[in-house]
């Protein structure tokens, strides 16, 4: 049976220092198990980590509680971030929701804050920064992790938490993440000015402006800044890499202004409030029902296992729940060995994610509907299936 002592006889390597990877490292650490985390970023501040995340009681918050991090989370969280306003393209407020409209409390935390509190909870030296993994290969009973530098690292157990382009995923399945048909162009209003229309749209939480196959998604961060995502259905552009910055913000403003030309001038004026470079972000997903091959000494968590669009806010929550369920399985007396523990975790996770991915696709189709906001209003009034 797996125990901390037995697991510490193994070299356990986690790929990726995002929330899921760091959470499983922390959850194993509190159970007395050592791990090593490989992260391609040069350091913890190498790049922006994106906007805010809302954590649910039964998944994200439950994982942080098991990790002993509830107090740290409460200090950084913003319960008021659950407030959401919904508008049409003329700026008419259609619907407003807050925590009382939800089945559970889902306080917000900035992605950078979440990553920081997880990093600070790990022993010094747990994360190897600047370790860009290029491949993961089976060699006998062990795995060989190849880095861009040419160095290799051996492992008895590999936990792939390395996102949509996971280097570990091809060892488990041929089903690569596929483009959803929706792309984001993201920017940030770092210091909203007095009278800012974007600030009016988001309030203390989020604002969604729903058009026809298009939307603005605006989100308040803990420092008062506002992240803006211009979402639209379009064919995949292989020349644009996820996270790549547009070199000419003025050109992108002009293109977006034309694309959203049917929207009210005031709504389109949010474009002019964006102060930063615009970032390209195509959305990817995996099939709701996945087919994974038999494998040993390797598993996936978070986006590496089940990337999906952000429209239900479940991505990070499911990743944190993966971390909790995997750490629990690996240290449970129920399983005869590591591979039995992995098999139990994967069976539960894949079943759970089938429903979550299906729900996320449905939410995407409601928020970016050819009918405009009508689909959302029908659902809110009880006329839809969502």
Q: Crossing angle of helices 315-330/338-367, nearest 10°?
A: 170
3-state secondary structure of 376: helix
**Both tokens assigned to 93:** 């407020």
**Both tokens assigned to 221:** 């961060």
Q: How far apart (Å, rounded) are the C-alpha atoms in residues 67 and 23? A: 8
Supply the DSSP symbol for 36.
E
Q: Crossing angle of helices 315-330/19-29, nearest 10°?
A: 30
Q: Beta 12-15 vs 157-160: how paired, if at all?
A: parallel
In this structure, are residues 83 and 203 in contact, taking their beta carbons and an 8 Å threshold?
yes
**248 annotated binding-site participant:** no
Q: How open is the CA angle 34-35-36, to the nearest 5 degrees?
A: 140
Q: How far apart (Å, rounded) are the C-alpha atoms in residues 56 and 278? A: 30
Sign of the torsion angle spanned by Cα atoms 167, 25, 50, 314: positive
Alpha helices in the chain (DSSP H): 4-7, 19-29, 60-66, 70-76, 111-120, 197-202, 249-259, 265-268, 270-273, 303-306, 315-330, 338-367, 374-380
Phi first, then psi, for residue 105 (nearest 5°) are: -70, 135
Element (H, E) at 184: strand 178-189
**111 annotated binding-site participant:** yes
Q: Beta 36-39 vs 12-15: how paired, if at all?
A: parallel
Please classify residue 239 by burial: count the beta carbons closer than 10 Å to its beta carbon, then call 0-12 exposed, 13-18 middle and 19+ buried. Answer: exposed
**303 annotated binding-site participant:** yes
**191 annotated binding-site participant:** no
What residues form the annotated binding site for FAD?
54, 111, 303
What residues form the annotated binding site?
47, 54, 111, 303
What residues form the annotated binding site for NADPH?
47
């Amino acid at each position: 049976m797996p125990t901390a002592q037995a697991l510490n006889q193994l070299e356990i390597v986690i790929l990726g220092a995002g929330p899921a990877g760091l959470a499983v490292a922390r959850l194993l650490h509190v159970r007395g198990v050592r791990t090593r985390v490989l992260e391609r970023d040069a350091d913890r501040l190498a790049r922006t980590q994106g906007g805010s995340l809302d954590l649910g009681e039964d998944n994200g918050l439950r994982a942080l509680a098991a990790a002993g991090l509830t107090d740290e989370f409460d200090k950084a969280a913003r319960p008021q971030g659950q407030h959401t306003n919904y508008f049409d393209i003329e700026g008419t407020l259609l619907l407003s929701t807050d925590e009382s409209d939800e089945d559970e409390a889902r306080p917000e935390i900035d992605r950078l804050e979440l990553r920081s509190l997880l990093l600070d909870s790990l022993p010094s030296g747990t994360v190897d920064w600047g370790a860009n993994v290029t491949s993961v290969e089976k060699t006998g009973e062990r795995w060989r992790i190849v880095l861009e530098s040419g160095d290799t690292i051996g492992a008895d157990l590999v936990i792939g938490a390395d996102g949509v382009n996971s280097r570990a995923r091809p060892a488990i399945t041929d089903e690569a993440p596929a483009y959803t048909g929706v792309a984001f162009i993201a920017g940030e209003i770092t210091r909203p000015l007095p009278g800012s229309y974007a600030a009016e749209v988001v309030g203390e939480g989020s604002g969604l402006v729903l058009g026809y196959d298009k939307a603005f998604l605006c989100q308040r961060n803990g420092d008062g800044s506002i992240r803006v995502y211009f979402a639209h259905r379009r064919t995949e552009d292989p020349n644009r890499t996820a996270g790549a910055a547009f070199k000419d913000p003025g050109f992108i403003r002009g293109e977006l202004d034309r694309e959203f030309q049917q929207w009210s001038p005031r709504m389109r004026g949010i474009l002019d409030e964006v102060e930063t470079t615009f970032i390209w972000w195509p959305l990817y997903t995996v099939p709701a029902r996945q087919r994974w091959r038999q494998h040993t000494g390797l598993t996936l968590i978070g986006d590496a296992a089940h990337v999906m669009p952000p429209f239900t806010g479940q991505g990070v929550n499911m990743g944190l729940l993966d971390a909790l369920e995997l750490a629990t399985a690996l240290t449970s007396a129920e399983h005869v060995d590591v591979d039995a523990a992995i098999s139990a975790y994967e069976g539960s996770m894949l079943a759970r994610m089938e429903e979550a991915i299906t729900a996320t696709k449905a939410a995407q189709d409601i928020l970016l509907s050819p009918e405009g906001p009508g689909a959302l209003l029908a659902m809110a009034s009880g006329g839809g299936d969502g």
